[in-house]
Structure 1
């Protein structure tokens, strides 16, 4: 269970009176109009619940801002091959022509097998 789920579950319990708390609720002689005087424990729980609701509201607002930013369209960049804004590099129509022109060549040349510049064994220093 992640932290925010825990806070939501606990704060839900603070917002709704349960059977244990119902027995403690009595009329308060010092209440003014419809205002109740809460003891410190219930008052602190109410403040924490209100703060949790505000935190959730702020997080939702930030999440909506992030989603709005991520949904903005990107600025078009030209294809680096033909400098056209109509397609991406992967979709460039000149790629098949280039492949056909150059072909899939094998870069191995059997004459290079014994070439001293292409060998991996150490060579004596040249003076």
Structure 2
């Protein structure tokens, strides 16, 4: 074991030499990283940022408001359409009733039940 190649080399783990260029870069980087460069905003920039924030807030409120109005108008339209459909259905039912009541066979049956005489010239037709 005395002739081991590991014993021939003296390894120093703690301190290794670094290239000089590397030291210069690391020193420069450390100098820049230690300094805290704070850029102060001017009054006009602050006012501009505040204006942008206020404009964005107003735009968000307007968007919500128009969304609510749109939903309300859509509900109103649906209720109006439902009432129109109901009225149309009533009209169709009434037209069907008129058609049944003005049928010649129906008129002949009514005249026979009441012992009346049916004169074609005296019948009036209901038209739209």
Instruction: Settle same-fold status: TM greater than 0.5.
Output: no
Normalising by the smaller structure, the TM-score range is: 0.3 to 0.5
TM-score by length of 1: 0.33
Q: Which has the higher Rg, Structure 1 or Structure 2?
A: 2
TM-score by length of 2: 0.32
